[in-house]
Amino acid sequence: TRSRGAAGAALLPSMLMFGVILASSGLLLMIERGILAQVGPPPLHPPAELSRRDGRDSTTELELEVLRDTRNRTIRALCGQRSMPRSVWELPPGQRRTVLRHLLVSDKYRFLYCYVPKVACSNWKRIVKVLEGALESVDVRGKMDHKSDLVFLGDMKPEEISYRLKHYYKFIFVRNPMERLLSAYRNKFGEIKAYQQKYGVEIIRRYRKNGGNSAGDDVSFSEFLQYLLDEDVEHMNEHWMPIYNLCQPCAVTYDFIGSYERLHADASHVLEHIQAPSFVRFPERQAWYKPVTAETLHYYLCNTPRRLLKELLPKYILDFSLFAYPLPNITSQFCRQ
């Protein structure tokens, strides 16, 4: 069992940029008062009307550049700091392996896609397989194979990696960090036996008295968050590892950052940019999928010890700040609603 102190020490060096704020308890005070939760994100993503694929008019290239500039403002500010990595080759070996393992390659359409679990990555992998001719249609039913017929940047030679990072169109899709964690929790511990047995049993053994007989299928959300708090970020499972660690937006200069909240519009923008065939579209949500609604997130957060959320948020602070998501409102007033 790793200690919480060891987990804190293992945070990325870039977290030191927030040291003054955290040390003064300024950030935690703002969390307590719900101040940051009231700050809406800037318009980081092209509005829905940008997409020709949705049958709407596109904006001019100048307007699109303005939107991109707004979207990238916070990333440029952070990644411009002297201590931040400028390329994947400046990353420690473990961090470099992680990001290269998450960058999918399409040589045919000359793009790199950093997949983030629980941010529609299965559907994006379907699209990549269709574009590469390995799958007939995005609507083909059946369990998704997350490895076969896919090319990962990490499987290539250094010179091949450098060439693609320099010349290919690069994009990622992001999601509200707490919503993503809740989605992972409900999916992995509520539906998938392998995760219950591998992680659930261990979590209950650690954090519950007399929990030795559990099958791992009754992990509470609070127990899951406590587990995340005590884990080393760089060794987390990819389904709850911070997006920053998975895709390294300072070491990789992404041309486009789409959001889960504007999934279809942003996906259409990417497909249009890479000049995908018109028959390739982003798949509709599967009928069995249970979305995380605002009400569901509200319920789980407000039934989680506030202390636990306060201690965990700094671990995901780069995902909140870089991708312009407001911190969760966990004030007593909000939770009484």
Give residue-wise pLDDT tens across range 170-213.
999 999 999 999 999 999 999 889 999 999 999 999 999 886 78
Neighbouring residues of 166: CB distance < 8 A, sequence distance ≥ 6: none
Residue located via tokens 């049958």: 55
Least confident of 15-19, 92-96, 111-115, 250-254: 15-19
Pick the more confident residue, 28 or 9. 28
Give residue-wise pLDDT tens across range 288-326.
567 888 899 999 999 999 999 999 999 999 998 888 888
- pTM of the full structure: 0.80
Q: Are 135 and 120 in contact (CB under 8 A)?
A: no
Least confident of 12-16, 195-199, 307-311, 333-337: 12-16
Q: Which of 16, 9, 174 is nearest to 84 (CA)?
A: 16
- Range 105-141 burial, b when 16+ CB lie within 10 A, else e: bbeebebbbbbbbbbbbbbbbbbbbbbbeebeebeee
Reported confidence tier of residue 334, pLDDT bands at 50, 70, 90: confident
Reported confidence tier of residue 28, pLDDT bands at 50, 70, 90: very low
Query: What does pLDDT average to over the chain?
Result: 81
Q: Phi and psi at residue 159, in whole multiples of 5°?
A: -70, -35
Predicted confidence at residue 179, as pLDDT, reads 96
Average confidence (pLDDT) over 18-47:
40
Q: Are 247 and 102 in contact (CB under 8 A)?
A: yes
What letter represents residue 225's amino acid? L
Between vectors from CA 238 to CA 237 and to CA 243, what angle results, nearest 5°?
A: 130
Using alpha carbons, list the distances in angstroms from residue 154 to 95, 106, 164, 334: 12, 13, 11, 45
Give residue-wise pLDDT tens across range 152-166.
999 999 999 999 999
Residue 46 has pLDDT above 70, yes or no: no
Average confidence (pLDDT) over 83-88:
92
Q: Which of 162, 179, 7, 193 is nearest to 90 (CA)?
A: 162
Give the integer Cα–Cα distance in Å for 66 and 71.
Answer: 9
How far, rounded to the nearest angstrom, does the alpha carbon of residue 134 sit from its chain's CA centroid? 26
Give the integer Cα–Cα distance in Å for 34 and 281.
Answer: 39
Report DSSP state, residue 54.
T
